[in-house]
Structure 1
Amino acid sequence: MKIRQYIKRQKELIKEHKGTYKLYKVLRFLVIVTAVLSFLRGSYESVALCILSLLLFLLPSIFEEKLRVDIPGLFQGIIYLFIFAAEILGEVNHYYTAILGWDTMLHTINGFLCAAIGFSLVYILNRNSKNINLSPFYLILVSFCFSMTIGVLWEFIEFTADQLFYLDMQKDFIIKNIGSVTLDPTHSQIPYQVKDIIKTVIYTKGGTQVVIPNGYLDIGLLDTMKDLLVNFVGAIVFSVIGYFYLRNEGKGHHFLKGLIVKPKP
């Protein structure tokens, strides 16, 4: 998007959604301050994440300009907060490990927001087409499936990053009980159960010894399933709200109206 178009869009945003624009300015300032402090500490990876966040902040304006749609101020504000919470608080300030449930909260919100995006896409098509007239249930089903698809694709990205770069995006859990057919000495596919594990010791070919206290290390499986489960919960919550919104023909539900992307006149 050209600079002139971006400036024009920002002026429109000020007029249409003053609260959202103020939030955008505050978050942008905090990101810039974080980038400067990270640079002074020599944490260049954090600086890169800050730059990425600033670029992601531009996405709503870019999508509005390119797709000729109007993203409500409430939806934009939630997107800005989500980006800040995921990249700056989660990654740079280590909230993913410092605060229990931070990743779970974000994945739940992601499921809700992606369902809203899927809902908007089909809703626009349904409202502006003479040949398509989807029932409320079918429209909600499509938005739900859209949200779950995005959730699965994101887990693919995390898995690929972990396998290629060992980033541990699929966070590991300490577990005390396992059942595995691989450990079955009879090779008869009977799950061999190991319970009350108090310590795991790993020996590497180079002679390094790694001790895992209090149990066995689960490599990302529980985290992946947990993320998909809470994404499911977020998508279900939006689907229920969206269904009654359609049944009532858009009456009431002011909160949901703030999440529906509409085509520009």
Structure 2
Amino acid sequence: MSFHTPVSLSARRESQLVRLLQAAIIGILAVGLWQGNAGIAVNASVGLLVTFLPAFFDRNYSITMNGGIVLWITLAMFLHALGTLSLPALGFISPYKSTWWWDHMTHALSSSLVAGVAYAVTRALEEHTEYISMPPTFMFVYLLLFVMAFGVIWELIEFYVAVVSNLVGIGKVLTQYGLDDTILDLFYNTIGGLLVAVFGTAHLTDLSDQLRAKFESPNR
């Protein structure tokens, strides 16, 4: 295989990887419960639930995401859950604490998911109604602004969750490390949105077409 040969996975291989990552998240959840660590358990639980959303939408709303998108979602949730995992007995420190770029990577991945959802829904609405029209340049700017706004909201959620966790005494579920960390989070959120705006929209067209069909269906 040459350097320029594109690497692709079969649908079966993508499905296997998704199941493997889900199993790994379950393992992380089990460790969190065993340690009595609310941060690990809550983040792994939420991440695991998110990985089952594609199957939920497929079963209940006939909206089918291709294997690549499902793998994208699952990988983002796995990396976030893994980032919270700490095994002191084995000398394993959570990647969020031991690896300086881990938080930046997961923010970029998560924000790319947000941008992907925003694009798919907005394009479906644009195709569904004549009252919404977004030229490519405007869509590009819209995705970036949407991700930036969502990032600000998420930082506020992180702050208040940390405050409530301290008041209740259940340990840190979400953690902020100061203003500099918040600014970096917002920067990498924007990077994730930028990547979707530039490269990812072509892979989300089928999903947006399915959403448009649901909007137009009288039985939705």
Alignment TM-score, normalising by the size of structure 1: 0.61
Q: Does 1:92 align with 2:85?
A: yes
More strand by percentage? 1
Q: Could you tell me which residue of structure 2 aligns to residue 169 of structure 1?
A: 175
Letter in structure 2 aligned against 1:71: M
Residue aligned with 1:134, SS = coil
Q: Could you tell me which residue of structure 1 aligns to residue 75 of structure 2?
A: 81
Q: Deviations over 1:33-65 (max 9, x none)?
A: 3344555x5435344544333322212222344
How far apart are the structure 2 equivalents of 1:52 and 1:241?
A: 28
How far apart are the structure 1 equivalents of 2:45 and 2:130?
A: 44
Q: Could you tell me which residue of structure 1 aligns to residue 195 of structure 2?
A: 237
Residue aligned with 2:26, SS = helix
Q: Could you tell me which residue of structure 2 aligns to residue 134 of structure 1?
A: 134
Deviation at 1:142, TM superposition (A): 2.2
How far apart are the structure 2 equivalents of 1:105 and 1:79?
A: 14
How far apart are the structure 2 equivalents of 1:113 and 1:97?
A: 24
Listed as ranges, the matches of 1:168-247 within 5 Å are 169-171=175-177, 220-241=178-199
Deviation at 1:97, TM superposition (A): 0.4
**CA separation of 1:146 and 1:69: change in aligned 2, threshold 3 A:** farther
**CA separation of 1:91 and 1:136: change in aligned 2, threshold 3 A:** same
Contact 1:117 1:261 in 2 (8 A): no
**Please, which of 48, 58, 62 is the counterpart of residue 54 of structure 1?**
48
**CA separation of 1:20 and 1:114: change in aligned 2, threshold 3 A:** same
Find the structure with the greater CA-based Rg. Answer: 1
Letter in structure 1 aligned against 2:12: K
Contact 2:148 2:190 in 1 (8 A): yes
Q: Aligned residue pairs: how many?
A: 188
Deviation at 1:83, TM superposition (A): 0.5
Q: Could you tell me which residue of structure 1 aligns to residue 145 of structure 2?
A: 145
Contact 1:111 1:231 in 2 (8 A): yes
Deviation at 1:137, TM superposition (A): 1.6
Q: Deviations over 1:57-96 (max 9, x none)?
A: 2122223445543322211101101101101x11123110
Q: Could you tell me which residue of structure 2 aligns to residue 257 of structure 1?
A: 203
More helix by percentage? 2
Q: Deviations over 1:220-255 (max 9, x none)?
A: 11111110111122222332346xx7xxxxxxxxxx
Alignment TM-score, normalising by the size of structure 2: 0.72
Deviation at 1:143, TM superposition (A): 2.0
Q: Deviations over 1:78-123 (max 9, x none)?
A: 1101101101x11123110011210011112223222222111111
Identity %: 23
Deviation at 1:154, TM superposition (A): 0.8
Deviation at 1:165, TM superposition (A): 2.5
Letter in structure 1 aligned against 2:85: V
How far apart are the structure 2 equivalents of 1:155 and 1:170?
A: 8
- State the superposition RMSD in angstroms: 2.7
Q: Deviations over 1:148-168 (max 9, x none)?
A: 222111101111123332436
Contact 1:119 1:140 in 2 (8 A): no
**Unaligned 5+ residue runs, structure 1?**
1-15, 172-219, 246-255
Contact 2:24 2:78 in 1 (8 A): no
How far apart are the structure 2 equivalents of 1:259 and 1:44?
A: 40
